[in-house]
Amino acid sequence: TKFPPGFTFGVATASHQIEGAWNVSGKSENVWDRLTHTRPELIADGTNGDIACDSYHRLHEDVEELVALGVHFYRFSLSWSRILPTGRIDYVNPDGIRYYNELLDLLAENNIEPLVTLFHWDLPQSLQDLGGWANPKMIDYFYDYSDFCFKEFGGKIKSWITFNEPYEICEDAYGDEKKAPAIDSHGVGNYLCSDTLLKAHAESYHLYNETYRPVQNGRIFISINSIWYEPSDPENSELVALAEVANQFKFGWFAHPIFTVEGGYPKVMVENIARQSEAEGLRKPRLEQFDAYWIQRIKGTSDFLGINHYTTHLITGAGVDPIAKSPSWLKDIGAVTTMEVGGDSASEWLRVVPTGFANLLRWCKISYNDPPIYITENGFSDRGDLEDYGRIKYFNDYLSEILNVINDDKVNVLGYTAWTLMDNFEWRAGFSERFGFYYVNITDPARPRTPKLSVQYYRELIDNHELPHFD
């Protein structure tokens, strides 16, 4: 079976993971530069993003790879600290403008549509010094940064993503040490972050919608990541109910305020956290509810539902997960989770469970009034095999589930983005976990890129608009 006519395929990257040139031509330090330089022991192989894939100097090669893949669009992100080194609009770095214009022009010449993410985790350190996403003032800074990018680049860009994976930004970086700035204010900082981030997203959306859309005619949305939770025993109604709670805490945390009619955080989140906070002797819940103004202001602020999806985990029981800190998001859920499901990858958290994706997509259709969906990331890690059959099988099995839900359940999926163009700086895993279509040799200063077998697979899929024959 063919994908629907008009269904588009792309590939994604993110600025900090590929660009390098961390202190070149006016770029300032971001939170990942700071983390990798001051706490290198947190990175699995001790690497960092100083040079990464050197895409800053090699964007012509990058575009050639995109052409070879035959993708319709390229999803990449802008480096805030390259464009506005102070984080504010009081100083614009001309080289940042030049770099992204060069990339946008090259894409246009090759008929590849840009899908541009404003924020993919590399916050200018100067703004982090003021508290980063835990500081409500970030709403203004993000507004100014968005405004600048819409004005400067918007003539060349028809599709914008405000935030990549709000859960990772808030929970992993402010509620844990998994991502920079590694604040680990579990159960507190993570919720301060979500409050600011959702408001910042909404303000950026309204700005685009009112000021830029009428002239630039583009679309703007948010990409939400989900580890999908399923009950370890689907016949056990308690576990079924707990999995729903976990999905509300994970996906619903950011999707419910934007994509439901009632808006605001999911009810079960508000209740659980209020109950726990009271038991902790707090005067106010750690998660503050939005007031009526903000509920309205945030609702409906995304033209599509952007979904990044990789994996499914299981819920095995009620109670406090043994790895949960106190207080914490995980403890607030009140369920025990396990990653022991499906086939493995090079990443501990990434289990291969294609049917989980189908279940997530069906759940999104029901929970969020049948939204138009773009899959903005999906991919598989290994150690860098050139004959990457594991990756090919992953894409094939996940995409066939996507086809099923499009055809059988009429889930409105409009496009698919594979993660990622080339092996790149995989955050705290460094270069030890590789997700790319192209192998990148990081011991060679020229950072040569070598196509893996999956390049052929994806190319054939895109050319024929259907899954290649594969077993």
Q: Does 78 contact ligand BGC by CB under 6 A?
A: no
Contacts (CB under 6 A) with ligand BGC, residues 266-285: none
Cβ closest to ligand BGC, residue 297 vs residue 428: 428
CA 153 distance to own-chain centroid: 21
* 41 contact partners, CB below 8 Å, separation of at least 6: none
**Token reading at 70:** 């035959």
Cβ at position 377, least distance to ligand BGC in Å: 6
The nearest distance, CB 424 to ligand BGC, in angstroms, is 7
Residues annotated as catalytic (active site), given as ranges = 377
Cβ distance to ligand BGC smaller for residue 197 or 406: 197
Binding to ligand BGC by residue 165, rule CB under 6 A? yes
- Of 63-71, 144-152, 163-171, 394-402, which part binds ligand BGC (CB under 6 A)? 163-171
Q: Compute the least distance from the CB of residue 358 to ligand BGC, in Å.
A: 20
| Piece of 164-172, 257-265, 356-364, 443-451 that binds ligand BGC (CB under 6 A) | 164-172
For ligand BGC, which residue of 47, 164, 277, 367 counts as binding (CB under 6 A)?
A: 164
14 binds ligand BGC (CB under 6 A): yes
Site for ligand BGC contains 419 (CB under 6 A): yes
Nearest residue to ligand BGC, by Cβ distance, number only? 14
Among residues 341, 335, 323, 361, the alpha carbon closest in space to that of 241 is found at 335
Site size with ligand BGC, rule: CB under 6 A:
11
Smallest separation (angstroms) from ligand BGC to the CB of 333: 20
Q: Which of 19, 62, 168, 176 binds ligand BGC (CB under 6 A)?
A: 168
Looking at beta carbons only, is 164 or 190 nearer to ligand BGC? 164
**In Å, what is the CA distance from 193 to each residue of 136, 287, 359?**
8, 10, 28
**Does position 125 bind ligand BGC by CB under 6 A?**
no
Q: Exposed e or buried b for every residue in 306-325, given b needs 16+ CB within 10 A?
A: bbbbbbbbbbbeeeebeebe
Q: 400: closest CA among 471, 340, 345?
A: 471
Peptide bond into 231 cis (omega under 30): no
Kindly tell me which of 163 and 290 has the beta carbon lying closer to ligand BGC.
Answer: 163
CA distances from 448 to 10, 103, 359, 393, 415 (A): 22, 19, 39, 25, 30
Q: By C-beta, is 148 or 425 nearer to ligand BGC?
A: 425
CB of 225 to ligand BGC, least distance (A): 5
Q: How far is the CB of 16 from ligand BGC (least distance, A)?
A: 9
Among 36, 308, 311, 417, binds ligand BGC (CB under 6 A): 308
67: buried, middle or exposed (CB in 10 Å: 19+, 13-18, 0-12)? middle
Among 327, 48, 46, residue whose Cα is nearest residue 176: 327
Considering only CA atoms, which of 193, 205, 305, 211 is closest in space to residue 255? Answer: 305
Report d(CA 439, CA 448) in Å as an integer. Answer: 8
Structural contact between residues 322 and 331, judged by C-beta atoms closer than 8 angstroms: no
> Exposed/middle/buried for 68, CB within 10 Å: 0-12, 13-18, 19+?
middle
Cβ proximity to ligand BGC: between 286 and 393 the closer is 393
Binding-site member from 203, 332, 397, 426 for ligand BGC (CB under 6 A): 426
Q: How far is the CB of 155 from ligand BGC (least distance, A)?
A: 27
Binding residues for ligand BGC, rule: CB under 6 A, are 14, 17, 164-165, 168, 225, 308, 377, 419, 426, 435
